[in-house]
Amino acid sequence: MTIIVHHLENSRSQRVLWMLEELGIPYEVRRYQRDKATMLAPPELRRVHPLGKSPVIEDGERVVAETGAIVEYLVDKADGRLGAPPHRDAALRYRFWLHYAEGSLMPPLLLKLVLGRIPLMGKPAMKRIQPMIDRHLDYVESELAQRPWFAGDAMSAADVMMSFPLEAARSRAGLDGSRPATIGWLDRVHARPAYQAALARGGPYAYA
């Protein structure tokens, strides 16, 4: 059965397309455009899931929301492919990065984006946010300097989860060539045939 991906432009759902391409699971893309005034998802997404956000997938009668939950669902569907490595330490790294992406790295990036849209009050607050982001980026750099992928020697779902926040950081939060291990990781991600295929299926994406 073909999975339906409810895909919002320039959003976290790009990761789901990449994941599906890596796993070779058939899928259909239903695209949604952001409201040009608010940049929010359109109300049509509420017909799919009450929160009205993307990504959401439909697999038969199942509706799964939240990127991390979707990624774990797809790992299970693919009999563990791109899941946790067998070695305990690598498996712990895998689980850490799988949850760190949204639990720790995305909140300050999102906060910076929101504050940047508040002309007067936002600028002073942003001066406090950037050092927080830099601490995270330095930590990521130190880890990727030790191994090619987040969990170890092979790409995994943890890398899929980390792709969007690091793409966003390069776009608007100071990630550049001063952190070569992280930039090298992004280059490896973007060079993967499955990633390129996901871009072709998903349409314009501002962060690749």
Domain ranges of the chain: 3-82+194-202, 88-192
What pLDDT shows up at residue 208?
81
Return d(Cα 107, Cα 124) in angstroms, integer.
Answer: 18
Show the tokens assigned to 135. 């601490």
At 77, the amino acid letter reads: K
pLDDT, tens digit (0-9, with 9 covering 90-100), for 163-199: 999 999 999 999 999 999 999 999 999 999 999 999 9
- The CATH number assigned to the domain with range 3-82+194-202 reads 3.40.30.10
Which segments of the chain have a pLDDT < 70? 119-122
In this structure, CATH architecture of domain 88-192: Up-down Bundle (1.20)
pTM above threshold 0.85: yes
What pLDDT shows up at residue 124?
74
Angle 104-108-113 (CA atoms, 0-180°, nearest 5)? 140
Concatenating the DSSP letter of every residue in 47-79 gives GTSTT--S-EEEETTEEEESHHHHHHHHHHHTT
